[in-house]
Structure 1
Amino acid sequence: MAADHLITDPTLLSVLSAAAETRTQCLQILALLSQRASQGDDVDDELQTAEKNLNARLAILRGINRRAVMGVRQTKQETAEARQEIDSLHLQLQNLYYEQRHLRGEIAGCEDFDHKYTKLPLIPVEEFLATHPEHAEADEHELTLARIADEHAARQTLEQQKQELVKRKEALVKETNAKKEELGKLDGELEKWIGGQQGVRKIFEARESKMAGA
Structure 2
Amino acid sequence: MAESPSDVISVLESLIAGDPEKLVEAKSYAILARLRRFNRDAHAIVNEQRQTTLDARNSMDQAHLGLQNLLYERRHFEREIQKCKQFQFIYHDVPLYDLEEFSQLAPEASQTIDDHDLMKNRLEFEFTERARLQDRLKALTAERDRLLKLKKETRVKMEAQAREETELAKAKPHNRKQQLLRSYCPR
What does 1:23-34 correspond to in 2, within 5 Å?
Answer: none
- Deviation of residue 95 (structure 1)? 2.3
Corresponding position of 2:55:
81
1:64/1:138 Cα in 2 relative to 1: closer, same or farther (>3 Å)? farther
| Aligned AA (1:117) | Y
| Aligned AA (1:195) | K
Corresponding position of 2:177:
none
The partner residue of 1:103 within 74, 77, 80 is: 77
The partner residue of 1:174 within 127, 145, 149 is: 149
1:192/1:99 Cα in 2 relative to 1: closer, same or farther (>3 Å)? same
What does 1:25-104 correspond to in 2, within 5 Å?
Answer: 66-67=40-41, 69-104=43-78
For 2:75 and 2:137, the matched residues in 1 are separated by 49
1:103/1:117 Cα in 2 relative to 1: closer, same or farther (>3 Å)? same
1:68/1:146 Cα in 2 relative to 1: closer, same or farther (>3 Å)? farther
User: Secondary structure at 1:120's aligned position in 2?
Assistant: coil
Corresponding position of 1:209:
none
Corresponding position of 1:160:
135
**Does structure 1 retain, via aligned residues, the 8 Å contact 2:109–2:121?**
no
For 1:125 and 1:68, the matched residues in 2 are separated by 85
1:69/1:144 Cα in 2 relative to 1: closer, same or farther (>3 Å)? farther
Bigger helix share? 1
The partner residue of 1:147 within 122, 137, 146 is: 122
Corresponding position of 1:33:
none
- Deviation of residue 177 (structure 1)? 0.5
For 1:149 and 1:191, the matched residues in 2 are separated by 62
For 1:112 and 1:79, the matched residues in 2 are separated by 49
| Aligned AA (1:93) | L
How many residues align structurally?
147
How high is the TM-score relative to the length of structure 2?
Answer: 0.62
- Deviation of residue 113 (structure 1)? 2.1
For 1:73 and 1:125, the matched residues in 2 are separated by 78
The higher relative CO (CA closer than 8 Å, separation ≥ 6) is in 1
- Deviation of residue 166 (structure 1)? 0.9
- Deviation of residue 160 (structure 1)? 1.1
The partner residue of 2:173 within 190, 200, 203 is: 200
For 2:44 and 2:93, the matched residues in 1 are separated by 75
1:134/1:166 Cα in 2 relative to 1: closer, same or farther (>3 Å)? closer
- Deviation of residue 137 (structure 1)? 4.4
- Deviation of residue 108 (structure 1)? 1.4
- Deviation of residue 129 (structure 1)? 5.4
Deviations 1:124-173 (A, max 9, x none): 34554562535644633333233222211211111111111111111111
| Aligned AA (2:76) | H
- Deviation of residue 68 (structure 1)? 5.2
For 2:81 and 2:37, the matched residues in 1 are separated by 64
CA RMSD in angstroms comes to: 3.2
